[in-house]
Amino acid sequence: MSRTVLRSALVSVFSYRVEARRLSRLLCRRCRSPLDLHQPNPNQPEQFLGTCMDCGQWFRVEAKAGERRALVIQLPEIDEVRAAGLDPLYEPPSN
Ligand SMILES: [Zn+2]
């Protein structure tokens, strides 16, 4: 059974805009390698998930019709979220 706990904490999220017509050549912000773009939901054709095969970073990408620049959001790393105290199962190491 999954355990859901709602918490909030500060996690760094980077966002920026790129030329929508160059989306197929989107580069990873962290290591500059080309991203693999996925379209997980055909009912949301403007929403993409970008993944970097080299460093493992993930990005949310929104390319709305009629907008020249797509929005890219670099998703936080799981370890960063865990370190911020947002993992319900996380127990800080005892000293
Ligand atoms: Zn990368």
Domain coverage including residue 56: 32-80
Is 87 within a domain?
no
> Cα of 50 to ligand 1 centre, how many Å?
10
> Cα of 42 to ligand 1 centre, how many Å?
25
Domain count, the chain: 1
Q: Under a CB-based contact definition with an 8 Å cutoff, are residues 54 and 31 in contact?
A: yes
Q: Mean pLDDT over all residues of the chain?
A: 89
CB crowding 9-24: b at 16 or more within 10 Å, else e: eeeeeeeeebebeebe
Is 39 within a domain?
yes
> Cα of 89 to ligand 1 centre, how many Å?
28
How much is the average pLDDT of 9-15? 86
Is 62 within a domain?
yes
| Dihedral sign for Cα atoms in the order 73, 54, 81, 29 | negative
User: Is pLDDT larger for residue 93 or for residue 7?
Assistant: 7
Is 57 within a domain?
yes
Is 18 within a domain?
no
Is 66 within a domain?
yes
Q: What is the pTM of this model?
A: 0.82
Q: Under a CB-based contact definition with an 8 Å cutoff, are residues 47 and 39 in contact?
A: yes
- d(CA 7, CA 63) in angstroms, rounded, equals 30
Is 69 within a domain?
yes
Is 59 within a domain?
yes
